[in-house]
Structure 1
């Protein structure tokens, strides 16, 4: 497979590894980005895989709460300029209203919702025609809580990141703090107990390969090596476990300790980042101008 400069650049941004290491990793893995990340980690060249995906598409996320219903959704545009447009913001307001009222099960159900005689899909299509850029409704999560539970929500940079959490116990202030933790520290699971076994097994295999490639450990007894693997695995999993993360307001305290003191427990959380996992088209304006001049 032909390994392009853009592929190498992307892998370097994801791992922090050198250009030549990234190129070799992609060659060894036939251009598979995720396998190349693992390959670099196994060789000890990349410290950790970045799981957030390629952040590229523009637009906004939004989190809103009404009674016992909370919604988080994302609407994409082609440029950040349009995402700040009043018409775009009004569209998000409309979408928020119908989502909270109808509580759709998924994106398809959301797009079929009635908005003053039109479907939401038609409203978005009309916005595309009016604004002059492709507008797309990408995803939605509807969360219901019970009366004895508390919502915490937070939007960063006007909606570049949105987080919604549900707590049992605690209060609104504690819930807001946990939502800010989720937004800023990007946990993937509430705790290790919530992680799928295949996710844990995959992380363990990475740590085993790293150990195999560390010649300084070759002479260590098997029980010592096992302890090292478990220690490294535990550290790796802590980074993606909400309750095991360092609390953003107090570097001397874990989230679990903060929750215990507040007599609170995390029931669930959702975190959306604009453009997460979407590859952005690369623009080369110099080439575009030259092609127009030459008539190509």
Structure 2
């Protein structure tokens, strides 16, 4: 019996040691001098055409014509991965970007990552619940609700951000007060603060191997070029009829549009210069 007790105590002790070692394992810490630049370019298109605001007319899967006058969306929580599974997560404070069609200053996400050959890219469309509920002093730049750079992408009444904003005209849309046929899609919802609500945060993961990994070096420029097909917002898994849904904001139907825009990103090529 004493032998059994000793073996039991020894086993518990070994498990404690293993658990302690596991807890003490830390991710490597990188200093800024150890990092190299990486850019992620978001090239908005509609089907096989370039997206041109206000002038080009497109047709969705419902057979409705439409023009886009405004397109903006948040990209956040960027991380890259190597073929061996090693992953680097860009620090959150440096990982929030607003992509605006027609604005050269908001066409890409610029981050710094350790040198390496990266075969996978992941990011979030939207703003995570933690950042959405932080004190406003922690939400600066494109996240500052009072900044012109934010461009009205914050719902003060719901304490959350509009992740994806698209507006335009369509003959299928009803006439609004200005006499125009306007459609508006303002999609947000981080899951709720004090009680569960709509969660339209989407995580996108893209394999970079087929069209070239990102070879990140301090003395080179690496750019991951993504094509973003906005037509999939209306013509994805759910065919969105502008006539039936000319204005979608914080409603159950917004989930359909969010599921659609989660499929609009594809890796076109990587430039390693």
The TM-score, its normalising length taken from structure 2, stands at 0.26
Please identify which structure carries the higher helix content: 1
The TM-score, its normalising length taken from structure 1, stands at 0.24
Please identify which structure carries the higher strand content: 2
